[in-house]
């Protein structure tokens, strides 16, 4: 139910105006203090509230932040802090007039540490400058995602958010559409297959007419089942249409208000999509005091503020702030289903499986789409997928296990007369005799990189030992061992043979017995090469752009890319080498620390032994093989997740599946607020 509040407007500040200091924002960004509604250990004023909620499995380390009724200096200070210093991204921004002065409202959300999330944000673009501003940003590859027009003292300005590298190949944006032409405009663009994702109404220059801007997105196959309530002068008419939309279980994505110049009345409009099951709440035309109270109440009930809808109720010095906020209860199931569907549509993914753990407990596992398009077999949480290079995390753990037992050392030589693999021949390049186990773990062997000459994609008739002997005889190093980073599949193939030499067992047998079984994993196995070799319960893989998923020696890739697994089994392994206190680890703490300590070598991107790492305490590895993408991530605040798909797209123009799958999982982590209690892994 929405209704405008009849309460009298409250001043923006109770007593003395507050301008945030650096310490104020540092405290907020660090998650200190109460920061709910008006409660905070520093003087916030009545416009600040945290938009996050704590779920049953705990809140995010850095929750979203919403601020409103900011003066221009206050807004700049907030923007410089959250966006400029502390790694937040903007989710919403709007400007409006209050008593003849500009005021601003915005929502900042934490930007995840994986992949580009480039934004440009502006809040005082004059109306006359907007076309040139638009053209420059479009030429630089940016798209508008929020456009908000507002007037102050008879002058019209825009506050905008622009992004690039988003997986949306088709978009449109239209400027200064006359209000009486808006319905025809929306009808025309809708027929072209686009979805209206942002809409604003504002007073044009000189307050002579009411204008609108629209932003549209779409892609082939996009579900265009969306609706809108066009701007209504009558409060009764808007409410009646709102109630009809609510009754058929649709969900609002944007609610806007503005003052109609001719009628001097408030007008409201909104956009809607099919409900995905998430709970929501919205109001329209509420004043600042009501906004403060509503935010606090909704937060207590587990809702996140996702849109502010700030606008000027009235004109000039008579204008007061009003808001059309939207809240959502971000429970895991609906949010994950919606995000996955969007990802799969865009990348033409047949099947996907994911699993997410929090504090060592499985909080979500689900399969989507088809494991086999021909038979119609669905992906389930039991579906096996090729994991590609995620196998390197398992191999690294096996090496650490052997090292902890004194059966080998990370500083052991690998080749030459004193090396573990001395029986495979003397290297033609004498520098190879100085390669130690740690060099292979951290991709510092000095050659054999994953490039067009990757040894693992040559000599398909040779077994692993034979291939290593051939490489030692025929392929020299590029650099001295330990001096340069070069990601190497071949290096991990060699590590598999080192494990075999140290244990006297086949690589997969040792790993199953000593790494997987203690982790509670019983179903993982080495993949076959052809579709005829497909294991029971394994997905079928589909190439894109002419790639053949069954034209590779996957079984030979055992230690660097050959394992089959479910997403849940990958988590069972990950939570037992994560160094966190929630589940008993299969490695000693010191060996986990050793395994995840990066080499620090130039260009190594935080690469440690089997994992990539960063200073935020995130560990990850991606898997990339023809017909396969995979991701495995561990975060410092207790999350682990795995995701697997049965296709691969390499797109030089738009986002590829490797980046897309990684970004999907970070989006899930950032957008879900309420996780179930989960179950032991």
pLDDT (tens digit, 9 = 90+) per residue, 446-460?
999 999 999 999 999
Q: Is 38 left (phi over 0), alpha (psi -120 to 50) or beta?
A: alpha
Please give the average per-residue pLDDT across 191-215, as a whole number.
92
In percent, how much of the chain has pLDDT > 70? 88
Which pLDDT band, with edges at 50, 70 and 90, does 39 fall under?
Answer: very low
Please state, in angstroms and rounded to a whole number, the distance separating the CA atoms of residues 499 and 409. 11
Predicted confidence (pLDDT) at residue 53 exceeds the cutoff of 70? no
The strand pair at 143-152 and 155-163 is best described as: antiparallel
Which pLDDT band, with edges at 50, 70 and 90, does 432 fall under?
Answer: very high
Within 8 A by CB and 6+ apart from 452, the residues are: none
Please give the average per-residue pLDDT across 178-195, as a whole number.
94
Please state, in angstroms and rounded to a whole number, the distance separating the CA atoms of residues 253 and 282. 10
Predicted confidence (pLDDT) at residue 249 exceeds the cutoff of 80? no
Which pLDDT band, with edges at 50, 70 and 90, does 47 fall under?
Answer: very low
- CA 13 to each of CA 36, 51, 288, 638: distance values in angstroms, whole numbers, following the listed order: 17, 20, 11, 39
Please give the average per-residue pLDDT across 37-54, as a whole number.
27
pLDDT for res 234 = 79
pLDDT for res 113 = 54
Please give the average per-residue pLDDT across 511-535, as a whole number.
97
Please state, in angstroms and rounded to a whole number, the distance separating the CA atoms of residues 261 and 231. 13
DSSP 8-state assignment for residue 434: G
In percent, how much of the chain has pLDDT > 90? 75
Mean pLDDT over the full length of the chain:
88
Predicted confidence (pLDDT) at residue 4 exceeds the cutoff of 50? no
Please give the average per-residue pLDDT across 530-534, as a whole number.
96
Please give the average per-residue pLDDT across 230-237, as a whole number.
85
pLDDT in tens, 297-309: 999 999 999 999 9
Within 8 A by CB and 6+ apart from 579, the residues are: 585, 589, 592, 593, 596
189-203, 227-241, 491-505: segment of lowest average pLDDT: 227-241
Which residues belong to CATH 3.40.710.10 in the chain? 334-680
Predicted confidence (pLDDT) at residue 76 exceeds the cutoff of 70? yes
What is the arrangement of strands in the sheet containing 226-232, beginning at the earlier edge strand?
Answer: 226-232, 266-274, 250-259
> What is the largest distance, in Å, between two alpha-carbon atoms of the chain?
92
pLDDT in tens, 621-680: 999 999 999 999 999 999 999 999 999 998 876 679 999 999 999 999 989 999 999 999
pLDDT for res 221 = 62
pLDDT for res 263 = 64
CATH no. for 334-680: 3.40.710.10
pLDDT for res 322 = 96
45-54, 517-526, 590-599: segment of lowest average pLDDT: 45-54
pLDDT in tens, 110-148: 876 544 458 899 999 999 999 999 999 999 989 999 999
Residue in this structure with the two tokens 């209206």, named with its chain if needed: 196
Within 8 A by CB and 6+ apart from 606, the residues are: 598, 612, 613, 614, 615
Cβ atoms of 285 and 324 within 8 Å: the answer is yes
Please state, in angstroms and rounded to a whole number, the distance separating the CA atoms of residues 106 and 92. 5
Q: Give me the helices (H) in 13-149, please.
A: 22-29, 72-79, 130-139
Tokens standing for residue 127: 């109306």
Nearest Cα neighbor of 364 from 613, 675, 92, 1 is 675
Which residues pair with residue 103 across a beta bridge?
Answer: 96
Which pLDDT band, with edges at 50, 70 and 90, does 342 fall under?
Answer: confident
pLDDT for res 108 = 94
Tokens standing for residue 416: 């030459």
Predicted confidence (pLDDT) at residue 5 exceeds the cutoff of 70? no
Please state, in angstroms and rounded to a whole number, the distance separating the CA atoms of residues 672 and 58. 11
Which pLDDT band, with edges at 50, 70 and 90, does 40 fall under?
Answer: very low
pLDDT for res 339 = 93
Tokens standing for residue 260: 């109609």
pLDDT for res 166 = 67
Please give the average per-residue pLDDT across 150-161, as a whole number.
95
pLDDT for res 232 = 85
Please give the average per-residue pLDDT across 271-278, as a whole number.
90
Tokens standing for residue 332: 């895991």
Predicted confidence (pLDDT) at residue 28 exceeds the cutoff of 60? no
Helices (H) and strands (E) in the chain, counts: 16, 29
Burial 540-571 (b: 16+ CB within 10 A, else e): bbbebeebebbebbbbbbbbbbbbbbbbbbbb
pLDDT in tens, 346-384: 899 999 999 999 999 999 999 999 999 999 999 999 999
């Amino acid at each position: 139910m929405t209704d405008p509040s009849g309460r009298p407007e409250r001043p923006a500040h109770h007593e003395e105006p507050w301008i945030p200091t650096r310490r104020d924002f540092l405290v907020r960004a660090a998650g200190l203090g109460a920061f709910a509604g008006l409660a905070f250990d520093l003087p916030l004023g009545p416009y600040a509230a945290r938009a996050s909620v704590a779920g049953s499995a705990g809140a995010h380390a850095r929750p979203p932040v919403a601020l409103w009724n900011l003066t221009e200096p206050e807004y700049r200070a907030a923007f410089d802090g959250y966006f400029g210093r502390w790694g937040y991204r903007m989710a919403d921004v709007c400007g409006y007039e209050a008593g003849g002065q500009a005021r601003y409202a915005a929502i900042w959300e934490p930007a995840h540490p994986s992949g580009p999330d480039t934004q440009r944000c502006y809040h005082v673009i004059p109306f006359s400058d907007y076309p040139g501003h638009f053209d420059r940003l479009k030429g630089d590859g940016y798209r508008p995602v929020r456009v908000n027009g507002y007037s102050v003292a008879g002058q019209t300005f825009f506050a905008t958010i622009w992004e690039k590298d988003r997986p949306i190949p088709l978009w449109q944006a239209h400027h200064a559409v006359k209000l009486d032409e808006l319905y025809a405009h929306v009808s025309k663009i809708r027929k072209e297959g686009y979805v209206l994702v942002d809409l604003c109404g504002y007073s044009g220059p000189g307050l002579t007419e009411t204008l609108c801007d629209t932003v549209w997105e779409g892609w082939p196959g996009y579900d265009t089942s969306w609706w809108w309530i066009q701007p209504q002068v009558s409060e009764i008419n808007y409410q009646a249409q709102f109630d009809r939309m609510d009754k058929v279980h649709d969900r609002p994505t944007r609610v806007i208000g503005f003052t109609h110049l001719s009628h001097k009345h408030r007008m409201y409009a909104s956009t809607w999509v099919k409900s995905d099951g998430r709970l929501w709440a919205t109001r329209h035309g509420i004043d600042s005091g009501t906004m403060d109270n509503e935010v606090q109440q909704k937060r207590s009930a587990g809702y996140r503020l996702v849109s502010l809808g700030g606008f000027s109720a009235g004109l000039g010095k008579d204008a007061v702030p009003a808001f059309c906020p939207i809240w959502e209860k971000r429970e895991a199931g609906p949010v994950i289903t919606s995000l996955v569907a969007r990802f799969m549509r865009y990348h033409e993914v047949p099947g996907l499986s994911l699993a997410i753990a929090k504090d060592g407990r499985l909080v979500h596992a689900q399969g989507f789409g088809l494991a086999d398009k021909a038979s119609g077999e669905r992906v389930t949480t039991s579906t096996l997928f090729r994991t590609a290079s995620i196998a390197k995390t398992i191999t690294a753990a096996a090496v650490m296990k052997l090292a902890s037992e004194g059966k080998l050392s990370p500083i052991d030589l690998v080749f030459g007369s004193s090396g573990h693999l001395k029986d495979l021949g003397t290297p033609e390049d004498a520098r190879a005799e100085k390669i130690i186990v740690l060099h292979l773990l951290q991709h510092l062997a000095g050659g054999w990189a994953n490039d067009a000459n990757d040894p693992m994609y040559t000599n398909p008739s040779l077994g692993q030992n034979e291939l290593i002997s051939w490489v030692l005889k025929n392929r020299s190093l590029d650099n001295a061992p330990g001096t340069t980073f070069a990601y190497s599949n071949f290096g991990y193939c060699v590590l598999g043979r080192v494990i075999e030499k140290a244990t006297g067992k086949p690589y997969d047998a040792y790993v199953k017995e000593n790494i997987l079984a203690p982790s509670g994993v019983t179903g993982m196995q080495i993949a076959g090469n052809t579709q005829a070799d497909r294991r029971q319960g394994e997905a079928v893989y589909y190439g894109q752009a002419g790639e053949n998923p069954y034209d590779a020696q996957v079984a030979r890739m055992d230690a660097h890319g050959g394992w089959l697994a479910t997403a849940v089994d990958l988590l069972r392994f990950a939570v037992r080498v994560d160094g966190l206190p929630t589940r008993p680890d299969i490695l000693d703490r010191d060996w986990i620390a050793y395994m995840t300590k990066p080499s620090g070598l130039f260009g190594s991107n935080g690469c440690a032994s089997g994992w990539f790492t960063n200073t935020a305490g995130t560990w990850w590895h991606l898997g990339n093989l023809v017909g396969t993408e995979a991701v495995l991530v561990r975060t410092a605040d207790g999350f682990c997740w795995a995701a697997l798909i049965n296709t691969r797209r390499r797109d030089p123009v738009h986002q590829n599946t490797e980046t897309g799958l990684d970004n999907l999982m970070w989006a899930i982590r950032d957008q879900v607020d309420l996780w179930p209690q989960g179950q032991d892994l």
